[in-house]
Amino acid sequence: MNPPVYMDYNATAPVFPAAAAAMGEALKIAGNPSSVHRYGRGARKAMEDARERLAAAIGAQLPAIVFTSGATEANNLALLGTGRSRILVSAIEHDSVRGVSPTAELVPVQRSGVVDLAALERMLGADRRPALVSLMLANNETGVVQPVAEAAEIAHRYGALLHCDAVQALGRIALDVSALGADLVSLSAHKIGGPAGIGALYVKDHVTLKPLLAGGGQERGRRAGTENLSGIVGFAAAAEIAVARQPDEAERLRALRDALEARIQAERPDAVLFGIESPRLANTSCVALPGIAAERQVIALDLAGVAVSAGAACSSGKVRASAVLGAMGAPADLAASAIRVSLGWQSRAEDIDRFMAAWAGLRKPSLAA
Active site residues: 314
Sign of the torsion angle spanned by Cα atoms 244, 247, 249, 250? positive
Beta bridge partners of residue 14, listed in sequence order: none
* Helix 117-126 × helix 148-157 angle, to 10°: 20
Residues with Cβ < 8 Å from 368, sequence gap 6 or more? none
Alpha helices for 158-195 (secondary structure H): 177-180
Identify whether the C-beta of residue 128 lies closer than 8 Å to the C-beta of residue 158: yes
**Do 275 and 325 touch, CB atoms closer than 8 A?**
no
How far, rounded to the nearest angstrom, does the alpha carbon of residue 201 sit from its chain's CA centroid?
A: 13
Order the strands of the 338-342 sheet from edge to edge.
272-273, 284-288, 338-342
Count of CB atoms situated within 10 Å of the CB of 361: 11
Torsion of CA 59, 61, 63, 65, to 10 degrees: -10
| Cα distance between residue 60 and residue 212, in whole Å | 23
- Residue burial 63-77, b: 16+ Cβ < 10 Å; e: rest: ebbbbbbbbbbbbbb
Question: Could you give the CA distance from residue 103 to residue 122 in angstroms, rounded to a whole number?
Answer: 18
Q: What Cα–Cα distance (Å) separates residue 198 from each residue in 16, 69, 162, 251, 281? A: 15, 4, 23, 28, 23
